[in-house]
Amino acid sequence: MTEDERNSEVLALQIGRPLRAASKVLRRCNLDLPIVIDVPPILDTGEPFPTRYWLTCPLAHRRIARIEAEGGVRAAQPPVQRSPASAPPVQRSPASAPPAHAIVRAEGSAGRRVV
């Protein structure tokens, strides 16, 4: 079994379904399990997928959900909004956006999550 096949099996278990496009594992935990993957902007079916970085680890997901439920995102927004350098490339300038983001933006799906 190849590393890609192993990754696909583990990721399917983590998210509860098979992947809909080949994705690259960006970060792993100390158990060598995927935590974050890079999902292509266009799925194998041709559907746009604007969520570029996908959290796959169930434990990390629960921990982040708890922070969000306690208002952590809301508390972090003002400092982030005051810092132009922290804005995503698409918000700074469409010309500076990575090609994958430009493709999703051109499809008109920005802000829509396709799961």
3-state secondary structure labels for all residues of 27-75: EECCCCCEEEEECCCECCCCCECCCCEEECCHHHHHHHHHHHHCCHHHH
pTM exceeding the 0.75 threshold for the entire prediction: no
- On whether residue 112 sits in a domain, the answer given is no
Within-domain flag for 58: yes
Is the confidence at residue 72, as pLDDT, over 60? yes
* Number of folded domains that form the chain: 1
Q: Is residue 45 part of a domain?
A: yes
Question: Is residue 115 a part of any domain in this protein?
Answer: no
Residue 114 lies in a domain: no
pLDDT digits (tens, 9 = 90+) for 20-29: 999 999 999 9
In a domain, 53, yes or no: yes
Average pLDDT of 16-37? 95
Instruction: Indicate the burial class of 36 (C-beta count within 10 angstroms; 0-12, 13-18, 19 or more).
Output: middle
The yes-or-no verdict on residue 88 having pLDDT over 80 is no
Average pLDDT over residues 41-64: 93
Q: Please give the residue range of the domain that contains residue 31.
A: 3-106
pLDDT band at 67 (very low <50, low <70, confident <90, very high): very high
